[in-house]
Structure 1
């Protein structure tokens, strides 16, 4: 974004740039990034349906670090966990009254994918997606 977009000038921004980002989904993602809020959501992404629980970036990176380090085959598991968990630092110590910059990603836990009548994986997984890539969303898991 070239300028900060407030509620009052979204229409002007869309008139110039088109609807490249779903501003409503972006606000929902910002909300999960600045709080402990989590909720079910289903997204349409390039012909594939993705469903799961929308979580904040801090929680996503903590869960990713834990999962990755558990699978790490070497002895330095704690160092690996700490290295990946440090990616969550961008979301820490944020003044809750201060507006975060518009998010560019959504983070899901327990994500499942549906494509051509197939569901994968068998158990939910962590998933991180780029906001402009979504074609629709439902605020409930499938």
Structure 2
């Protein structure tokens, strides 16, 4: 699936993202992105935006506006008729660069990335001493 000169995305990975967006499917996955290793769980765009909106919902007027716009973005992503996916959304994400500890090493982290920037993937998550297996 070409998106311009030299920009391609993996159709299998896009299929997983579409399943998450349309059917609330989730999947543990590890990505290779420009030398970094990113591990976590694929979630729908709606879940990503809804979770992100919760961060702002108890704030001031501007934070409330941001929260509302993020909820709207999640609903728009879910109702989108266009089956093409351009972004992957993940939760419980860790980023590894080299042999060091992951960044961030603690907390439930959301991550969003362009499908066209992902070099490769494998199914499953990387667990280390800072992760607790469910």
The CA RMSD over aligned residues, in Å, is 2.3
In structure 2, what is the equivalent of residue 6 of structure 1? none
For structure 2, the residue ranges without an aligned partner over 5 or more in a row are 127-134
Per-residue CA distance 1:63-121 (angstroms, 9 max, x = gap): 11112445x4x355443311222111223346xxxx74210110001110000212110
Answer with 1 or 2: which has the greater Rg.
1
Candidates 105, 117, 130, aligned match of 2:87: 105
Higher strand share: 1
Check the 8 A contact 2:44/2:89 in 1, yes or no: yes
The alignment covers a number of residue pairs equal to 122
In structure 2, what is the equivalent of residue 85 of structure 1? 71
In structure 1, what is the equivalent of residue 119 of structure 2? 135
For structure 1, the residue ranges without an aligned partner over 5 or more in a row are 2-12
SS in 1 for 2:120: strand
Q: Distance in 2 between matches of 1:81 and 1:22?
A: 32
